[in-house]
Amino acid sequence: MSGADAEHVVADRYRLLTRIGRGGMGEVWSGRDLRLHRDVAVKIFHGGPGATASSLPGWLRREGIAAAQIVHPNVAVLYDQGAHQDQIFLVMELVSGATLADVMRGGRLSVRDTLKIGSQVAEALAAAHAARVVHRDIKPQNVLVTPDGTVKVVDFGIAGFLADTRSWSLGGSSATVKGSGTPDYAAPEQVMGNNADARSDLYSLGTLLYAMLTGEVPFQAANFLDVMRQKATEDAPPLPPGSGAPRELAELVAELLAREPERRPTAARQVAARLRAMLERSGRSEAEVEVQGSTSLDETLRVGEAGGAKALLTETGPETPPVWGPGPSKDQVAPPEPSAWEPLAATGATVLSALAAVEVRGRSLLPSPAPLPSGEPVGESGYPFPWRSVLIRALLLLVAAAVTLVVVFATG
């Protein structure tokens, strides 16, 4: 089927409606499942040697069956795969939204947005690896972002076959090098032609995180041969300070980009848990900032006219003074309203001052008052003045003064 058109029906079941994408490996169409009466996405692959019905290997069929068993909110559901007129087709869930490649055209992403997307990709990989399916080609073009921010990873069950049949031409020569994956995102063992496993997907995830945070991939060169040489002989560069990534995220990216597979994290589920924990902490930090009245963040994902998503917008609200809330703690006590005890306490204080100045036969009518207990708030520091305590002490001292007067005159 060299020229798919809107009236074409694939495998006597899937009607092609609108072509929504085209690349070097094939085309993507919105379609209709005539048997189950549902909307689908149909990918038709026509690139790469071996991508024909006669050479469709048994392991691809088995992996497609396994991929179809993956039920996870971050994995685009695979409905069917097969061959039609010597071309491989893939039928999957029709997802509205933009590819991550479109999102990244608006510039590098914030740390929080990187964590949101990265954690969901890691969750998708964890579900796939649990089903013994390795993607082998994690890259921005295979990650979809819906309008509500949900991530869908696509091409499970087919990417591995396409990757294994891919070869690259070296610039300026007729030589070709066989490898798997997309060179910029593939793990070193993939570009060297070795077998890929779950740890290879984690390397690609690390590259994805690096690209979202910086706007570029770790290794850049004029051709694939130089990229392959760099990945085989050099460690990936660390995240630059300008990425804004916290230390724990930078350390995780470095672990994922380790050249040797055994130095990478052992499971996608562990990586997802670490990314989720960082995301939760970043959310709490923003909430604390809002309570303190400094910066208020309002992030909105806007989809551009071309269908790609724009960068997230951050709005900073004006600073507001702290507001006393109900039930303050002992470290944050609101100044009380004027109490009915206040005038009585003031009168008592005046009487005490007058009595303290009176001496009878060299004796003060009032003993030296005991100091207030340490830590009891007084003055104008925002804490309540202990009016009731002062009044009680004043009454006790007045009684003591009266008793003293009686004793002095009785013994005189």
The pLDDT tens digits for 269-319 are 999 999 999 999 987 765 544 333 322 223 434 443 333 333 222 222 333
On average, the pLDDT of the chain sits at 74
**Among 91, 93, 94, 116, which residue's Cα sits nearest to residue 103?**
116
CA–CA dist 349, 346 (Å, integer): 5
Strand partners, 152: 144
Q: Exactly one of 137, 155, 164, 184 is catalytic; which is it?
A: 137
The 3-state DSSP class for residue 55 equals helix
Is the model's pTM score more than 0.75? no
Residues contacting 69, CB < 8 A, separation 6+: 131
Residues 6+ apart with CB under 8 A from 374: none
Q: Read off the pLDDT of each residue in 45-71 and give the average, rounded to a whole number.
A: 65
113 given a catalytic annotation: no
- Alpha carbon 163 to chain centroid, angstroms: 29
Residue 140 predicted with pLDDT over 90: yes
Higher-pLDDT residue of 269, 241: 269
Query: What pLDDT score was predicted for residue 288?
Result: 45
Structural domains of the chain, with CATH: 1-94 (3.30.200.20), 97-325 (1.10.510.10), 341-370+377-411 (no CATH)
